[in-house]
Amino acid sequence: MKDVHIKKLNLLTADSQPTNAAILLFDKNPQRFFSQAIVKIGRFITDSDIITTDIVEGNLFYQAENTIEILKTKYLINRIYYEGVHRREKFQYPISALREAVFNALIHRDYNTTSAILIKVYNDRLTIANEGKFPPEIKIEDLKREHLSIPRNKLIAEVFYKAGLIESWGRGTLKMIEDCILMGIPAPEYIETNGVVRVLFENNEGLNEGLNEGLNEGLKTLLQTIIGNPGIRAKDLSEKLNNRSLKTIERQLSILISKNYIERRGSKKTGGYWKIKKL
């Protein structure tokens, strides 16, 4: 971005040097200066058992959009259905609410710490954690009602606002609650512990429902195992399913693929993963 544009955004110091906000927002590789300014995404079976992970680097605009895209394509279960001739998608959580939570984490985190933003995806919940206390004027209970917008990083917030990515009226958390309730899942919960703010989304709907339709018991247990272990390979599925023969596993995988329940993504070199397309 040209210096004149950065100056208009108040992103230059008095001696015409880029501010920290300018580096984080527009530098191609801000990790040269802020190595901790990254987003880590992981798929967990339990708190200590992780099966796949991604790291999102680049400037904050890149992180904002690519974090959501990675969640949608690799980590979230996506139900595909049709209304007449129109193809519809339904994720486990409202994408609009996840987007707001991710943007909030990027805007409000403390960039002077050494920790990354952590997104943990489980079968029945998703958490987004960033280091950075709430301002003293804002309490957790305030997020459930209309409240002031007091960003930790004012310059970053202003640029996100001018880019049309957020609004500045303190209504984002209310919209998140509204979107989750409309989907029929609990409102997101905010937790602050030792300077770390964590937002919790919960949704166990669909993990066991819907599997009774169109699949026999063998296919159901196979699909449930894949849901909990998206990076698993056929030979490991054989061991997990009481030594079900590899030939049977491969045949059943072909059935689930042909019925559009799952899709294999990624390369053989990196191992790949199973994308759940419907339940």
Q: State the Cα–Cα distance between residues 116 and 36, nearest whole angstrom.
A: 5
Cα 131 → chain centroid: 17
pLDDT at residue 216, as a whole number: 81
DSSP tag of 18: B
Other residues' Cβ atoms within 10 Å of the Cβ of residue 142: 15
Distances (CA, A) of 276 to 217, 225, 254: 18, 11, 14
CA dihedral of residues 197, 108, 135, 98 (deg, nearest 10): -50
- Partners of 83 in the β-ladder: 86
Q: Report helix angle 95-108 to 172-183, nearest 10.
A: 150
pLDDT at residue 2, as a whole number: 46
Residue-wise pLDDT tens for the chain (279 aa)? 445 467 777 788 888 888 999 999 999 999 999 999 999 999 998 888 898 899 999 999 999 999 999 999 999 987 766 666 667 778 889 999 999 999 999 999 999 988 999 999 998 899 999 998 877 777 777 777 666 677 778 899 999 988 888 876 667 888 888 888 888 888 899 998 888 999 999 986 544 444 445 678 888 888 888 887 788 888 899 888 888 899 899 989 998 998 888 888 877 666 788 887 776
* CATH tag for 3-202 (out of 3.40.50.300, 3.40.50.620, 3.90.226.10, 3.30.565.60): 3.30.565.60
CB 149 within 8 A of CB 72: no
CB 119 within 8 A of CB 198: no
The set of residues, in sequence order, having a beta carbon less than 8 Å from that of 223 and lying 6+ positions away, is: 211, 215, 256, 261, 262, 279
List the CATH code of the domain at 217-276. 1.10.10
Q: State the Cα–Cα distance between residues 6 and 233, nearest whole angstrom.
A: 49
Q: State the Cα–Cα distance between residues 155 and 213, nearest whole angstrom.
A: 52
Is the alpha carbon torsion for 193, 195, 201, 207 positive or negative? negative
Two tokens at 54? 């991604």
Q: State the Cα–Cα distance between residues 102 and 195, nearest whole angstrom.
A: 18
Q: Where are the domains of the chain?
A: 3-202, 217-276
pLDDT at residue 231, as a whole number: 83
Rg of the chain over Cα atoms, rounded to whole angstroms, equals 21
Q: Is 217-276 the same fold as 3-202?
A: no
pLDDT at residue 139, as a whole number: 72
Cα angle 136, 103, 201 (rounded to 5 degrees) comes to: 85
